Amino acid sequence: MTDQRKLLERALLQLRDTRARLAAAVCAAREPISVLGAGVRLPGDVADLEAFWNLLRDGVDAVTPSVDTLDGHRPEPADRAENGRWAGLLTEVDGFDAGFFGISPAEAAKLDPQQRLVLEVAWEAMEDAGLPLETLQRAGTGVFLGVYNSDYLTLQYDDPAVINTYTAPGGAHSVLANRLSYLLDLRGPSLAVDTACSSSLMAVHLAVRALRQGECDIALAGGVNIILNPVSTLVTEKVLPLAPGGRCRTFDAAADGIIRAEGCGVLVLTRESLAAGRRVRAVIRGTAANHDGRTNGLTAPNPRAQADLLRRALGDAGVRPEQVTYIEAHGTGTPLGDPIEVEALREVYGDGSLPCALGSVKTNFGHQEAAAGVTGLIKAMLVLEHGQVPPNVHLRRLNPEIDLAGSRLSAPAALTGLARGEHAPLAAVSSFGFGGANAHAIVQAPPPPPAGAATLGKLVLPLSSRDPAALAPLARAYAERLDGCDPAQAAAVCAAAGTRRTHLAHRLCLTAAGPAELVAKLGEVDGGAPAVPPRPPRVAFVFSGQGSQWAGMGTELLRREPVVAAEVAECDAVVRELAGWSVLEQLADGGRLHETEVAQVAIGALQLGLAALWRSWGVEPSAVTGHSMGEVTAAYAAGALDRAQAFDLLLRRARRAEEGAAGGAMASISLPPDRVRELIAAGGRVGVAAVNGPRSTVVAGERQAVVAVCDAAERLGANVRRLPSRYGFHSPMLDGQDERLAAELADLRPGPCTVPMYSTVTGALVQPGQLGAAHWGRNLRDAVRFSSAVSAIAATGVTVFVELGPHPVLLRDLGETLEEAGVRYRAVGSLRRGQPASATLDRSLADLYRAGLDVDWEAVLGAPPADVPLPAYPWQRRRHWLGEATQRADLGTAVPQAERAATIALFVRRRIADALGLDDVEQVPEDRPLADFALDSLVIVELKGRAESELGVTVPLQALLRVMHGGTALDLAAMIAKES
The reply to whether 471 and 434 lie within a common domain is: no
Judgement on whether residues 814 and 845 belong to the same structural domain of the protein: yes
Which listed residue (173, 330, 730, 807) is catalytic?
A: 330
Q: Which of 288-302, 638-652, 888-902 is modeled with the greatest confidence? A: 638-652
Would you say 473 and 234 are in contact if contact means Cβ atoms under 8 Å apart?
Answer: no
Structural domain ending residue among the three candidates 398, 420, 444? 444
- Considering only 161-165, 515-519, 599-603, 793-797, which range has the smallest mean pLDDT? 161-165
Q: Considering 822, 853, 884, which residue would you say is the last residue of a domain?
A: 853
| Residue 248 falls in the annotated catalytic set | no
Catalytic residue among 198, 360, 465, 628: 628
Please indicate, yes or no, if residue 684 is contained in any of the structural domains.
no
pLDDT at 80: 52
Q: Give percent of the chain above pLDDT 90.
A: 76
The domain boundary residue, chosen from 853, 888, 923: 853
Residues 137 and 192 reside in one and the same domain: yes
| pLDDT greater than 90 at residue 767 | yes
Whichever domain contains 749, its CATH number is: 3.40.366.10
Residues 744 and 796 placed together within one structural domain of the fold: yes
Are 185 and 207 found together in one domain?
Answer: yes
Structural domain includes residue 506: yes
Question: Above 50 in pLDDT, residue 842?
Answer: yes
705 domain residue, yes or no: no
For residue 478, the domain's CATH number is: 3.30.70.3290
In this structure, of 229-243, 321-335, 407-421, 532-546, the range with the lowest mean pLDDT score is 229-243
Q: For the chain, what percent of residues have pLDDT higher than 70?
A: 93
CA quadruple 321, 324, 325, 330: dihedral sign: negative
Domain CATH number, residue 83: 3.40.47.10
Element (H, E) at 838: helix 837-850
> Are residues 419 and 335 both part of a single domain?
yes
Let me know if 330 is a catalytic residue: yes
Kindly state whether residues 209 and 355 are assigned to the same domain.
yes
Q: For residue 546, is it within any domain?
A: yes
DSSP letters of 419-433? P--SS--EEEEEEE-
- The structural domain count of the chain equals 5
Q: How far is CA 905 from the centre of its chain?
A: 37
- Closest alpha carbon to 801 in 819, 784, 782: 819
pLDDT value of position 887: 33
Q: 3-state SS of 42-65?
A: ECCCECCHHHHHHHHHCCCCCCEC
Whether 766 and 759 have beta carbons less than 8 Å apart is answered as yes
Inform me whether the pLDDT recorded for 72 exceeds 90: no
Question: How many CB atoms are closer than 10 A to CB 788?
Answer: 17
Segment 267-290, tens digit of pLDDT: 999 999 999 999 999 999 999 999
- Identified catalytic residue from 34, 73, 190, 197: 197
- In this structure, the answer to whether residues 543 and 530 fall within a common structural domain is no
User: Given phi > 0 = left and psi -120 to 50 = alpha, else beta, which region is 68?
Assistant: alpha
Query: Residues 666-682: pLDDT tens digits?
Result: 999 999 999 999 999 86
Q: CB-based contacts of 967: which residues, under 8 Å, 6+ apart?
A: 929, 930, 975
pTM above 0.75, yes or no: yes
pLDDT of residue 26: 57
Least confident of 159-173, 625-639, 768-782, 891-905: 891-905
CA–CA distances in Å: residue 593 to residues 549, 587, 603: 7, 8, 9
The answer to whether position 934 is within a domain reads yes
- The active-site residue out of 173, 367, 440, 730 is 367
Instruction: Check residues 381 and 886 and name the one with the higher pLDDT.
Output: 381
349, with CB counted inside 10 A (0-12, 13-18, 19+), is buried
Range(s) of the domain holding residue 764? 538-662+727-853
Q: Are 88 and 43 in contact (CB under 8 A)?
A: yes
Do the domain assignments include residue 883? no
* Sequence-separated (6 or more) residues with CB below 8 Å from residue 74: 67, 68, 227, 228, 229, 230
Q: Return the pLDDT at 84.
A: 62
Same domain for 75 and 180, yes or no, is yes
Residue 549 DSSP SS3: coil
Q: What string of DSSP letters covers 199-255?
A: HHHHHHHHHHHHHHTTS-SEEEEEEEE----HHHHHHHHTTSPBPTTS---TTBTT-
Give mean pLDDT, residues 822-840.
95
Check whether residue 788 and residue 645 sit in a common domain.
yes
Residue 575 sits in the same domain as residue 643: yes
pLDDT in tens, 443-467: 999 999 887 677 889 999 999 999 9
CA 252, 254, 257, 263 torsion: positive or negative? negative
Query: With 90 as the cut, is the pLDDT of residue 942 above it?
Result: no
Whether residues 829 and 915 share a domain: the answer is no
Q: Which of 7-11, 48-52, 832-836 has the lowest mean pLDDT?
A: 7-11
pLDDT digits (tens, 9 = 90+) for 92-112: 999 999 999 988 888 999 999
Identity of the residue numbered 404: L
In a domain, 618, yes or no: yes
For residue 968, the domain's CATH number is 1.10.1200.10
- Integer Cα distance of 86 and 749 in angstroms: 84
